[in-house]
Amino acid sequence: MSKQTETRRKTVKDIAAAKGKTPLVCLTAYDAPTARLLDPHCDVLLVGDSLGMVVHGLPSTVGVTMEMMILHGQAVMRGSEQAFVVVDMPFGSYETNNDSAFLNAARIMKETGCQAIKIESGTYAAGQIAHLVERGVPVMGHIGLRPQAINVDGGFRAKGRTTGERDRVIAEARAADEAGAFAIVIEGVAEDLAAEITAEVGCPTIGIGASAACDGQILVTHDMLGLFDWTPKFVRRYADLSTSISEATAAYAEDVRSRQFPAAAETYALRKPEPERR
């Protein structure tokens, strides 16, 4: 008998050890079938609160709830085997105080089985990060353009373009790193700033719109696969699934309306009665 080899899921140590080495491959995932397809190729699958916009059609991530994050986190865990799975903490679930941050983070980890949570980490969140890490919750930070702060910023725009903003982004990175974050997402900043932060912090940086200077890259999978008409400047489309899906749906509709589908190959027939035994 051959012994079945059990797939080992990546750990926080694997991700932390990638600092300065082969870049980490990260993508978002929100459901089991997609997670199953991405899993063999990715180091990290992020159940991002971007699901509010990508899957649920919300105008921003602000309306995402704990229940939504947990539901999608459970699906991604069921669909993946080896990738390190991180689940976003939604807006309002960690900002108030350390205790509420821990209770909500613990709930996400217990109910999904994920390996870590992610926090959009302004300098104010350093206390929450340290509190969570001390209590066994691995935390990924997120600095620069922070989508949950859209109502303060007045829209999605790159960060660190002025001296004041640059200093704030660097301060966010230092605070998250010193508080114990095992990795930091850097979103929407210039290459030189991303390179400076990557060189300064001890944990891996994962860029999204932050250049190849980072220790890894992440994109929203739906953007990368071309499921939307518009994508941000920093996205490279590796497929055009929007066109493929539209063409396939049009062909299906034509076949249904012309009664070419279902045909004999897709139709059940009555079985011939078996002859009686005598």
User: pLDDT digits over 62-85, tens only?
Assistant: 999 999 999 999 999 999 999 999
Q: Which residues pair with 184 in a beta bridge?
A: 141, 205
Question: Letter for the amino acid at 21?
Answer: K
Question: Average pLDDT in the 2-22 region?
Answer: 85
Among 4-8, 50-54, 98-102, 212-216, the minimum mean pLDDT is found in 4-8
What is the SS3 assignment for 189? strand
108 pLDDT more than 80: yes
What predicted TM-score, i.e. pTM, was given to this entire model?
0.92
Other C-beta atoms lying within 10 Å of the C-beta of residue 247? 10
Is the predicted pLDDT of residue 269 greater than 50, yes or no?
A: yes
User: Residue 270 — pLDDT band, cuts 50, 70, 90?
Assistant: confident
Residue 61 is classified by DSSP as S
Q: What is the pLDDT of residue 158?
A: 62
Check whether 50 has a pLDDT greater than 50: yes
- Between CA 224 and CA 123 the distance in angstroms is 30
Distance (Å, rounded) from C-alpha 122 to C-alpha 238?
32
Q: Decide: 82 and 11 in contact? Cβ < 8 Å.
A: no
pLDDT confidence bin for 4, thresholds 50/70/90: very low
Q: What is the pLDDT of residues 128-139, one digit of tens each?
A: 999 999 999 999
Band of the pLDDT at 160, cuts 50, 70, 90?
Answer: low
Sorted by sequence, the CB contacts under 8 Å of residue 16 that are 6+ apart come out as 182, 183, 203, 204
Residues with catalytic roles: 187
pLDDT at 146 over 90: no
Q: Are 112 and 87 in contact (CB under 8 A)?
A: yes
pLDDT at 3 over 50: no
Q: For residue 136, give both structure tokens.
A: 């066994």
Confidence at residue 275, expressed as pLDDT on a 0 to 100 scale: 76
45, 54, 51, 92: which is closest to 68 by C-alpha? Answer: 51
What is the distance between the alpha carbons of residues 183 and 138, in angstroms, rounded to a whole number?
Answer: 9
Whether 2 has a pLDDT exceeding 60, the answer reads: no
pLDDT band at 157 (very low <50, low <70, confident <90, very high): low
Residue range 200-208: mean pLDDT, rounded:
98
Across the chain, which distance is largest between two alpha carbons, in Å? Answer: 96
